[in-house]
């Protein structure tokens, strides 16, 4: 039983995957992960949506997780993206994550297939039963089409290895409902930067964040204020970070985020199709958001 064996909270970065000349830039990625941890980030997620996981080859997916674990070296939790709309692949990726030394697996709701609530439950149960690794259930109906109902999440919380959820619905009122159903130890993380303040005010534990790719120290300060109940300070940080929360999505993610990181000299702005580079108007907005957030250009 892994219940209570891991604590996930605060600012957890949904890591981008840098590319150069069509390949994963392993050095830039390793340096980037180390910079995130040195800045105080509370955890990292490789191979999620922001990491362009749908465009990674199987070998690239595995290597990115291995690099993350190697660089993290136990300093922060590594929550490895292991989602697929094919249950056997999710099991395989979760097994690899465990073997690589990841602390948990982030598993998204099966997309495109449009499974029933029973199908969703059986998908996660199969992974739960096959792999000895904590599982964070990722509910993002805007991308997967299917929403995990509160009833189904309660069932999932009863599985031996399901320790929490990442909620990208933007509905902060779910926190209380799920706390009632799943208990206070069930780790509820937001997957939506713009509503993370409200999510944590309702009792959420943190955010799997896109904005923290750009400003890890600032997002850490924001989340630590929320966790301590200092919502006056948290609101001040929200004001500074609000444009970054939103403008990183003016074009399909993670193109704006990679553009911002290229301005910081962290990596090339390269993305893989079908995502395309930022428009000029987005670049202007992102630069302005970085200045507002206090990120040096």
Which residues fall within 8 angstroms of residue 145, CB to CB, at 6 or more apart? 111, 112, 114
- Residue 21, Ramachandran bin (φ over 0: left; ψ between -120 and 50: alpha; else beta): left
Helices (H), the chain: 26-38, 58-72, 87-100, 117-130, 141-144, 150-157, 174-182, 196-201, 216-227, 231-247, 255-263, 280-293
What gap in Å lies between CA 198 and CA 218, rounded to an integer? 18
Chain CA centroid to CA 142, Å: 15
Task: DSSP letter for 149, please.
Answer: P
DSSP-assigned beta bridge partners for residue 14: 45
- A 10 A CB-CB count for 239 gives 10
Catalytic, 166? Answer yes
- Is residue 18 within 8 A of residue 28, CB to CB? The reply is yes
Helices vs. strands in the chain: H and E counts, helices first: 12, 10
- Tell me which residue of 143, 133, 136 sits closest to 164, measured CA to CA: 136
Pairing of strands 10-14, 162-167: unpaired
Cα dist from 84 to 58, 111, 158, whole Å: 12, 8, 22
Catalytic, 138? Answer yes
Residue among 9, 93, 125, 166 flagged as catalytic: 166
Residue among 93, 138, 219, 259 flagged as catalytic: 138
Residues marked active site are found at 138, 166
């Amino acid at each position: 039983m892994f219940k209570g064996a891991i604590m996930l909270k605060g600012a957890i970065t949904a890591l981008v995957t840098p590319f150069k000349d069509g390949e994963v830039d392993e050095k830039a990625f390793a340096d980037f992960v180390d910079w995130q941890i040195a800045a105080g980030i509370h955890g990292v997620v490789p191979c999620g949506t922001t990491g362009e996981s749908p465009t990674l080859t199987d070998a690239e997916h595995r290597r990115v997780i291995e690099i993350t674990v190697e660089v993290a070296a136990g300093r922060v939790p590594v929550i490895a993206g292991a989602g697929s709309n094919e249950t056997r692949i999710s099991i395989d990726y979760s097994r690899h994550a465990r073997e690589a030394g990841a602390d948990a697996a982030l598993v998204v709701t099966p997309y495109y297939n449009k499974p029933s609530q029973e199908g969703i439950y059986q998908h996660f149960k199969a992974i739960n039963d096959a792999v000895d690794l904590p599982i964070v259930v990722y509910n993002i109906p805007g991308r997967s089409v299917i929403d995990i109902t509160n009833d189904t999440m309660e069932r999932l919380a009863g599985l031996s290895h399901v320790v929490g959820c990442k909620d990208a619905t933007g509905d902060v009122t779910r926190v209380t409902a799920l706390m009632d159903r799943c208990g206070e130890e069930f780790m509820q993380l937001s997957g939506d930067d713009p509503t993370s303040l409200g999510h944590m005010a309702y009792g959420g534990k943190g955010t799997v964040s896109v904005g923290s790719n750009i400003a890890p120290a600032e997002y850490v300060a924001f989340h630590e204020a929320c966790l301590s109940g200092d919502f006056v300070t948290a609101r001040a940080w929200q004001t500074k970070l609000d444009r970054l929360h939103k403008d990183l999505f003016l074009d399909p993610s993670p193109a704006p985020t990679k553009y911002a990181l290229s301005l910081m000299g962290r990596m090339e702005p390269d993305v893989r199709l079908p995502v395309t580079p930022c428009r000029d108007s987005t670049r202007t907005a992102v630069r302005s958001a970085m200045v507002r957030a206090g990120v040096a250009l």
